[in-house]
Amino acid sequence: MSDSSCISIGLLLFPALTQLDLTGPYEVFARAPHTNVHLIWKNMKPVIADRGMAILPTVTFDTCPALDVICIPGGPGQINLMEDEETLSFIRRQSEQAKFVTSVCTGSLVLGAAGLLQGYQATTHWASLQQLALLGAEPVNARVVRDRNRITGAGVTSGIDFALNVVAEIYGDNIAQNIQLHMEYEPEPPFSSGSPRTASAERLKQAKDQIAPLIEKRRLMTVKAASNLSKN
């Protein structure tokens, strides 16, 4: 660990990310004892999420300390990151000493583009799950997947479940359950349409049609990233 008395957790902050991919885990991590949580980007200017929320970085790539946990959120902006060598190099460097290398939603595709999921089981948002195989990972349809020191969360809201799992790994179940209670995290969604397993066939088709252009754009970038990995 980077500091025996304090855990250092870093979440990558980037333009057009899905803010809940980041803010859900942040809320959990920030409640953990003896933990410093960093929001990381190339500079200190406000970063605009995909729905318009502005979020301030707390450190840059150059000033970020050695991390015990690195987490890559997802969102539409993840596509550009998959060929952003400055970002990929930063993730690789931090992952060398991190105890846990993690992601939420399509952030796992960025880990894959960095060459960090080859031979690992992983998950991501249901609409992009099979793209992980192009990057050498084994796609697993689950809300949270742990394979050795890689921990990946599925789409958006799973970031809270993911983060509670990470806290449990570091501090034990008691601390994680205490955080869950303080957050009153006991989901009771009004509809049973939150995943392809429970949504109607009609609703699933509608959702797929709505995001088809984005998924194809992401797939093409994943193919490109896979090609780049094969050259290295």
Q: Is 6 designated active site? A: no
Task: Please say whether the beta carbons of 105 and 153 come within 8 A.
Answer: yes
What pLDDT sits at residue 232? 76
Long-range contacts of 44-53 (CB under 8 A, 24+ apart): 47/13, 47/14, 47/15, 47/17, 48/15, 48/16, 49/16, 49/17, 49/18, 49/19, 49/22, 49/75, 50/16, 50/17, 50/18, 50/19, 50/75, 50/76, 50/77, 51/18, 51/19, 53/19
Task: Please say whether the beta carbons of 49 and 78 come within 8 A.
Answer: no
Which CATH number fits the domain 7-231, given the four candidates 1.10.287.610, 3.40.50.880, 3.30.70.240, 3.40.50.2300? 3.40.50.880
CA distance linking residue 106 with residue 23, whole number of Å = 15
Concatenate the DSSP letters of all residues of 21-74 into one string.
Answer: HHHHHHHHHHTSTTEEEEEEESSSS-EE-TTS-EE--SEETTTPPPPSEEEE--
CA distance linking residue 113 with residue 85, whole number of Å = 10
> Which two three-digit tokens encode residue 216?
């194809």
What pLDDT sits at residue 2? 43
CA distance linking residue 123 with residue 228, whole number of Å = 21
Of the candidates 127, 105, 130, 101, the residue with the CA atom closest to the CA atom of residue 116: 101
What pLDDT sits at residue 117? 98
Among candidate residues 6, 64, 71, 105, the one labeled active-site is 105
How much is the mean pLDDT over the chain? 97
The pLDDT tens digits for 159-210 are: 999 999 999 999 999 999 999 999 999 999 999 999 999 999 999 999 999 9
**Range 6-25 average pLDDT:** 98
Q: Quickly list H helices, the chain.
A: 19-30, 78-81, 85-97, 107-113, 158-171, 173-182, 201-231
The pLDDT tens digits for 69-102 are: 999 999 999 999 999 999 999 999 999 999 999 9
Residues 6+ apart with CB under 8 A from 147: 120, 121, 122
Instruction: Name the residue with higher pLDDT: 3 or 162.
Output: 162
Residues 6+ apart with CB under 8 A from 129: 123, 139, 141
Q: Say yes or no to pLDDT of 4 above 90.
A: no
**Range 143-156 average pLDDT:** 98
Tell me the percentage of the chain whose pLDDT exceeds 90. 97
Please give the DSSP secondary-structure letter assigned to residue 99: S
